[in-house]
Every structure is written in C-alpha cells, then in structure tokens.
Amino acid sequence: MIEAAAPTYFRLYVWERPVRAFHWVNATAVLALAITGFVIGNPFRMAYAAEAYQQNWFGTVRFVHFAAGWIFLVAFVARIYWGFVGDQYARWRHYIPHTRWQWREIVEVLRIDIFQTKVSGEFSSGHNALAGLTYSVSFLVYAFQIATGFALYASMSDAWVPSLFVWVVPLFGGDAGVRFWHHAAMWFFILFTMIHVYLVFYHDYVEGRGTTSSMVGGWKFARVDTLTAPDQSDEACEPDEPAESG
Amino acid sequence: MAKPDASIWRLMESKGYSRREFVHFCRFAAITAGVGVAGLPRVVEAFQSRPRPPVVWLHFQECTCCSESFIRSSHPVVADVLFDYLSLDYTETLQAAAGHQAEAALHDTMRNHPGEYILLVEGSVPLGNDGVYCTIGGRTAQDILAEAAEDAAAVIAWGSCASNGCVQNASPNPTGATPIHKLIGRPVINVPGCPPIADVMTAVVTHLLVMGSMPELDNRGRPREFYGKRVHDTCYRRPFYDAGLFVESWDDEGAREGYCLYKMGCRGPVTYNACSVTRWNEGTSYPIQSGHGCIGCSEDDFWDNGPFYRHLPDVPGFGIESTADKVGAAAAVAAGAGLALHAIVTNVRKQSEIHKRIAGSVQETEIGEGGDD
Ligand code: HEM
Ligand code: HEM
Ligand code: SF4
Ligand code: SF4
C-alpha cells in the first residue's frame, strides 16, 4: 500500500506500429461494413431524382461495403502474419490460452470484470489472457464473415479471390442461406464493439495505466515498484509485471 | 413408328419432310444446344448418322409441372424431337400404353439399349418407411430408379423435386423425400426450377443429342449455361435496385412505376436461373415482369427460406416473426443495459479504491525538477 509517496511508472511499448495500424484500419472497416451491411439488408427509402438512371445510392452503399470488405481481408491477413513475426505482445501465443498461467488469468479477469473484485492479481501488460482469447474467437468470426461475404461476392465479381470461396455456398444450401448467416453474424460485430469499447474504458479506469490510449501511442504504464523484469522471449505468456494494487 | 434405330433424318424423311426442312430443324437444334450456327455441320452429321436415342422418363413424387412446362417449349420443332423423333419409350403421363404393357416397354428399352437410353427423372424419391410413399407397379421409386440409372447413357433430374427435393423435402420432410443425385452414384444433370423453363429443358436434351456429352456443369451439377447467372444479374428492374428505388408495398406508386421488388422479398439476388434472359411462355414474361418477386424456385430449400415476402427468413427456434435483426437488436439492448448497470456498480463498489488512488496521485506543484520522464 503506497499512499504517501507517489509511485513512479515505466513506459512499456506494447503495441507496435503494425498492430496499431491494424487496429484502426480494422475498426474503421468493421464500422463501415456493419453500417453499409445493415443498409443492404434493410434499405431505407430515398429518392433524390425522378429517374433510376439519375441516382445510384444503393449501388454506392454496396460499393463501399465491397471496398471495405477487401480492406478488412487484407488487414486481417496482415495481422495474422504479424502474429508470427511481431513482438511478444503481438504473437499468436498471447491469444490462445495454452498455459496454466493463462487459464488462471482468465479466471482472475472474469472475477474482476463480473464480480468486480479488487484488482490485485498479476496482469499481462499486453492483452490479458481473457482479452486474447476473445480476440482469437472473434478472428474465427472474421474468417467466417470473409468466407460468406466473398462467397456472395463471387457471383458479382470476376476477381480471383472471391472465386476461392465458392465452395462455401453449398454448405449453406445456396446463396440465400449464406446471406442469412452473413447478415446474422453482423450482430456479433455490433455486440463485440459495444462490449470491447466498454471493457477498454473499464480496465483503463480500474487498472489506471492508460489502456485506452495504448492503442493510439502504443504505450502502457507499469509501476516501477511492482515491475519484474520484462520477459523479452517469444514465450512471454507469463506475467511480466503485477498490476497496481489499490 | 419407324424402325427403332433409324436416325432422326430417316424418320423425318419417312414422314415426308424435305432435306431443307431437316436442315432448318438442325439449325434450331444447334442454337438451342448452344453450339451456334457454326456448329450446324456437327448437328446435321449427328442427326443423320446416329440412331435416335431411346428415352425413359420416370415420374416419382412430383406434380407434373415439369412435363407441363416441357410441352410448352417455344421451339415446337425442338419439342417435336422428343415426342415424335426420339423414341419416348416410357413416360407415365404421355405414353399410350398402360399397366403391364407399359412396364414391358420400360423393360424392353432398358434391356435392348443398355448404355444408350437417356434417363429423365421428374420428382423426388421418398426413403421414409422403406419407400412406401411412392410405389409403381408394386415397386418402390428407389428400386425403379436404381435399376433404370444403372445402364442409362445420361441422367437428367428435371425440376427442383428431382434436383433438390422441393416442397416434399421441406422441413420436416415427412416422407424422407430425397433428390436423385443423392441416390445414384453417377453424375446427374440437375435442371432445377418449379418448374424449369421449357426452353432450358429442351436445350439440355438437345445438347445431349447433338454433342453426345453432358453440358458443362457447376459445382451443384447444374448446366452453367443456364444457371451460371442470378435472376438479379439480368433483371430489367436492376436499374431501380442500383438507384435504391424500391417497391414498399404492393399497391404503392413504386409498384406502379415498376420499381425493384427487393424489399418485397424478391429472391432474384440469391437465385441462379435463366428467367430474366429466356423468360417464360415463348419469351413472353417472367414473374418479376408481372410484378411479383422471384421466390427462388430453383434454389435448394427455397420453401424453408420463407416467408416469400420478406427479405430474410425467420430465425429457427425463435418463433414466428423473429428476424435476425429482431433477435440481434434484443441482444444489443440487453448488452447495453448490462454495460450501463456494470458502470454504475463499478463506481459504487470501487469507490474506496478510486478515492485512494486519487488521494495518492501527485499534484503538479508538488513535483520537483525532472519529475516526469
Ligand atoms: C465485419 C464484417 C462484415 C459485416 C458486418 C457484413 C455485413 C453484411 C450485411 C448485414 C449484409 C446484408 C445481408 C442481407 O442482404 O441481408 C451484407 C451483405 C453482403 N456482404 Fe457483408 N459484411 C461484412 C464483411 C463482408 C466482406 C469481407 C465481404 C467480401 C467482399 C462482404 C460481402 C458482402 C456481399 C457480397 C453482400 C451481399 C450484397 C448484395 O446483396 O448485393 N461482406 N454484409
Ligand atoms: C473507440 C473505439 C476503440 C477503442 C478505444 C479501442 C481500443 C483498443 C485497445 C486499447 C485495445 C488493446 C486492449 C488490450 O489491452 O487488451 C484494443 C484491441 C483490439 N480491438 Fe479495439 N478499440 C476500439 C474499437 C474497436 C473496434 C470497432 C473493433 C472491431 C470490431 C476493435 C477490435 C479490436 C481488436 C481485434 C483488438 C486486438 C488487437 C490485436 O491484438 O491486434 N476495436 N482496442
Ligand atoms: S426485382 Fe428482384 S431480381 Fe429484379 S433487380 Fe430487384 S431484387 Fe433483383
Ligand atoms: S423468377 Fe425465380 S421463382 Fe420465378 S420461376 Fe424464375 S427462379 Fe423460379
């Protein structure tokens, strides 16, 4: 318990530039895709010209959706690549709980998030293990959305990439089934964004070490008095520093 | 009837057609089969040297709309091929024979022309309760199909019933209705639609006759030529779709203006068929031209993808009128409420923790030189 003396903090560089670039490109693409996708599924009434040839807004909405879909795909593939070559915080090991320590952290974070127990355990400086797991699961949904999206897109495009996904269609019985599930999965992205942004703010609030801004500048902060030597090896799934307590 | 293995030209000749009329007919056939006028010599060659192939047309669980469609082909000369010049040896609906005589004709064809006859199947095959839901002459549809498919030169599945099960295979599929490509271990040409377009049917048969081979098929066994594009891709209302001008209700101004039927549940964007190209009834019209959305009649499970007048189907397990958006919005509202509650509880429960932290933080005035960084 340190109350009198102000604690000193280290800066930790947790999100490399490619990770931050991915984050904001991805977030922008997802927002664009969810909004345009929603409109494609529920077009509103809009007539600003008398004749069909004079307006093209629905075509434009669809164009934005497909353009954002390409960006979404490229960013996704780049991020997966970075998961194999990036620093310890970006590595795939961080995202797939495979050590006992990670499972313990998941339980710990659940207690803090749901029962709002005191933050006293040892936290990863990068994603905590539960956050990492959530991102891996959402990456499966990303893959699903890309597969169904490009499978639908294959009938509208002569490009090579969409044609790689035509095998998806028979799995759903036809384009109608693909479209239904593609549409339903949109709600995952909406729920994810709500909860994700809330939890970023919440953890920032209760951990007090700059979680929100970390995705902008790349820095998180760790108290000198509790920081153990940061582990620079690839296997850095162990805690590298206990979180602030009280 | 002329000798069974006479060629089509011999048959026409014996009926008094001129050579000129024969070539004229071949030109129709060439165009219908998709080989174009350039392929004419090939067609002439095929029709004057090859014996006409015998045809067996089986009917199982179906409504005969495929047969009805077929006899309304817009090139009667091509339809004639089947009825006059092919030897249509067995088809329950149109044959003259009945009872034992008919069964005998079927067996003669299969016995005398193994590897030569074309098998056309209309209707699905029920597998439930050992197939009792469809029997002919005391035998189950499954039995008859297996025997007939064994030695056929080619097998065509007419319509959605034979290609994907259609209405009798809709949930809960009480008779175990099964499309035929799932029952026989050989390639089947699927010609889905409820019914398929007459001109597409004749074209597929003509292709078999002229080329002596199967047309190019897609990954679901459908001829690419007719099922490679969506109804939506060549729909004449497409400009309204791109412009975002939609019919909002059946009797609004947009409906009168011929706006796009997307919001009325049109399945054109998810349906592969040639309706908007060939149209129906000698190219007269097609459903969308008559003001009604496409119901996706050539797609698998189209009965289960309803309601027809809504963009997306109901969510299974959530009751009637539960669209994906209603379920999703309910989840989002619940999540939003949960997060708001969580935020409030956080501030209550963590009050002392936060206060301690505020108390322990430094005022700028307290910091000496180099306090930061
Ligand atoms: C975050 C990711 C995405 C979300 C939330 C999303 C959402 C949606 C939604 C809600 C629809 C409307 C479905 C309907 O008609 O009811 C849609 C349609 C579509 N999406 Fe996506 N989508 C995403 C990614 C993609 C990707 C990566 C592609 C690939 C190019 C794609 C291609 C399409 C296509 C082709 C359609 C059909 C458009 C049409 O009917 O013309 N989507 N999307
Ligand atoms: C104002 C909006 C947002 C803010 C402030 C924000 C902030 C953050 C932060 C701070 C992290 C790291 C969290 C940690 O320490 O575990 C993060 C990670 C992540 N966020 Fe967001 N986020 C926002 C919106 C979104 C949106 C809309 C999406 C997409 C649906 C998204 C997807 C992700 C993903 C996939 C990661 C993991 C990144 C990686 O490991 O490469 N974020 N975000
Ligand atoms: S009416 Fe149907 S098929 Fe035609 S453009 Fe509109 S959605 Fe497409
Ligand atoms: S427009 Fe659609 S529902 Fe109508 S016949 Fe063609 S494919 Fe079937």
Structural domains in chain A plus CATH codes: 17-44+51-194 (1.20.950.20)
Q: B198 and B63 share a domain?
A: yes
Q: B216 and B261 share a domain?
A: no
For B183, the 3-state DSSP assignment is coil
Residue with tokens 């199909």: B145
Interface ipTM: 0.87
Answer yes or no: is B212 within a domain: yes
Answer yes or no: is B169 within a domain: yes
Q: B163 and B80 share a domain?
A: yes
Answer yes or no: is B177 within a domain: yes
Q: B111 and B249 share a domain?
A: no
- Return the structure tokens found at B234: 């060549």
Q: B75 and B217 share a domain?
A: yes
Which of B162, B178, B161, B170 is closest to B127 using CA atoms? B178
CATH number, domain with residue B280: 4.10.480.10
A180 and B244: CB-CB below 8 Å? no
Contact B201, B73 (CB under 8 A): yes
Beta bridge partners of B157: B121, B190
In this complex, the residue of B301, B336, B360 whose CB is nearest that of residue A174 is B301
- As a three-state string, the secondary structure of B334-368 is HHHHHHHHHHHHHHHHCHHHHHHHHHHCCCHHHCC
Q: B157 and B262 share a domain?
A: no
Which domain-ending residue is among B226, B250, B280?
Answer: B226
Answer yes or no: is B107 within a domain: yes
CA–CA dist B176, B159 (Å, integer): 18
CA–CA dist B342, A195 (Å, integer): 11
For B191, the 3-state DSSP assignment is strand
* Ligand lying nearest the CA atom of residue B271: 4
Q: What is the pLDDT of residues B155-201, one digit of tens each?
A: 999 999 999 999 999 989 999 999 999 999 889 999 999 999 988 98
The tally of CA atoms less than 13 A away on the side-chain side of residue A101 is 14
Q: B90 and B183 share a domain?
A: yes
Picking from B238, B353, B355 by the largest number of A CB atoms within 10 A of its own CB, the best residue to mutate is: B353
CATH number, domain with residue B130: 3.40.50.700
Q: Ligand 1 in contact with A178 (CB < 6 A)? A: no
What is the nearest CA distance from A121 to chain B, expressed in angstroms? 15
Q: Ligand 2 in contact with A211 (CB < 6 A)? A: yes
Q: B136 and B149 share a domain?
A: yes
User: Closest-CA residue in chain A for B352?
Assistant: A246
Total domains, chain B = 2
Q: B93 and B214 share a domain?
A: yes
Tens digit of pLDDT per residue, chain B (373 long)?
445 567 888 878 887 888 998 888 888 888 877 777 888 888 888 888 888 778 888 899 999 899 888 888 766 565 666 666 555 666 776 676 777 888 888 888 888 888 888 899 999 999 999 999 999 888 899 999 999 999 899 999 999 999 999 999 998 999 999 999 999 988 999 999 999 998 898 888 888 877 788 889 998 999 998 999 999 999 999 999 999 999 999 999 999 999 999 999 999 999 999 999 999 988 889 999 999 999 999 999 999 988 899 998 888 777 766 788 889 999 999 999 999 999 998 888 888 888 888 887 777 776 655 444 4
Residue B188: count of CB within 10 angstroms of its CB:
23
- Return the structure tokens found at B341: 């509650």
Answer yes or no: is B329 within a domain: no
Answer yes or no: is B222 within a domain: yes
What is the nearest CA distance from A221 to chain B, expressed in angstroms? 12
Which residues have CB under 6 Å of ligand 3?
A: B 231-232, 235, 237-238, 241, 260-262, 266, 268-269, 288, 293-294
Q: What b/e sequence results for B282-306 when a residue is b if at least 16 CB atoms lie within 10 Å of its CB, and e otherwise?
A: eeeebbbbeebbbbbbbbbbbbbbb
Q: B135 and B170 share a domain?
A: yes
Q: B277 and B212 share a domain?
A: no
> What is the span of the domain harbouring residue B246?
231-290
